[in-house]
Amino acid sequence: MQQIIKSGHLTADVEKAIQNIRHDKLFVLTDENTHTHCFPLLAKIPLLREAGEIVIPAGDTNKTIENLGRVWQLLTGNGATRHSLLANLGGGMVTDLGGFAAATFKRGIRYINIPTTLLGAVDAAVGGKTGINFEGYKNEIGSFYPSESVIISSDFFHTLDQAAILSGYAEMIKHALIHSNEEWEEILAYSFNETDYSKLNELVFRSVKTKQNIVEKDPYEKNIRKALNFGHTTGHAFESFAMTNGRPVPHGYAVAWGMIVELWLSHRLCGFPKEKLQRTVRFIRERYGAFPITCDHYEALYEIARHDKKNIGDTIRFTLLGDIGDVRIDRTADKELVFEALDFYRDSVGL
């Protein structure tokens, strides 16, 4: 079982997590940003002074097979064995790519995740999904391969700008919607005007536990783990479309916009309450703005969504909600209804 550590003392908790895993060599994967801003926070740990650091370019557009190959090359060139340990220090791009590198190097080495972004903490670092983007599609190549532990520390959140905070918070909205009315109310009540990091860390940890509880019941996404896909079928379509058209958007923003589409489908197909739909959409619109699309883009978005790896054949499968906490997996919608949902998205965000 993946261990989730709510860190109260970052250096001590990271040092303990490393010491608890027997290994011959230690490697730390960072990107250019976390190498500069986050690795120094761990500089006092004696074990890390001897570690081999692997640095890759930052940004989700660099979650590629070329950078994966670079990690393999540096592990091989520096004498890594099947008994080596990899520590991924970064956001979702680093933990996704690093986890896949660990899964495939010498048929699998152990690794830990130290997420440095809110998005990484509540989503990518937890649950064992690893992978890279390929041929313009998000996370097209990957595997289920959980880390030994995930160390969550709000020390890193202080380095984030508002956009990065909001990107992670979108996944927390999703977790609340699939979990309980109480959590949803609390998530919508949080104020971003003056960030309370202590409160945020508490909300993050509870959100992570929601995800972990689902993953433990269904580690390979055969059934209830599909709940975590809410907002993502359309969200990944927005994200891939934006990347292909040279205007990339943060993952969490795309998921937030995807939730607007899929909440409307939930209302139409599963009876999701209109008042809760409106409150959630208003919260998203006021904080995430809009990704500009026109009806001319619908066909391209639909084709991207149809290609989603969760689908069977040409049918798009959605995770929808009958109410907050009432998850309906493997629901389908025809093209006409999906286009109506995109109309609703445009109307909701003022396009």
Per-residue pLDDT band for 73 (boundaries 50, 70, 90) equals very high
Cβ 91 vs Cβ 124: under 8 Å: yes
Domains detected in the chain:
3-159 (3.40.50.1970), 162-349 (1.20.1090.10)
Q: pLDDT tens-digit profile of 245-280?
A: 999 899 999 999 999 999 999 999 999 999 999 999
Torsions phi, psi for 56 (to 5 deg): -120, 160
What pLDDT shows up at residue 314? 67
Closest CA to 260 of 272, 249, 250, 248: 272
291-314 mean pLDDT:
86
pLDDT band of 309, cuts 50, 70, 90: low
Per the listing, tokens 């120094």 go with 40
pLDDT at 36 over 70: yes
pLDDT of residue 312 exceeding 90: no
Distances (CA, A) of 237 to 60, 277, 301, 311, 345: 15, 21, 6, 13, 14
Q: pLDDT tens across 150-200, in order?
A: 999 988 988 889 999 999 999 999 999 999 999 999 999 999 888 888 889
Model confidence pLDDT, tens digit, residues 198-250: 889 889 999 999 999 999 999 988 899 999 999 999 999 999 999 889 998 99
pLDDT (0 to 100) of residue 198: 84
pLDDT for res 21: 96
Q: Please, what's the largest Cα pairwise distance for the chain? A: 60
| Predicted local distance difference test score (pLDDT) of residue 136 | 81
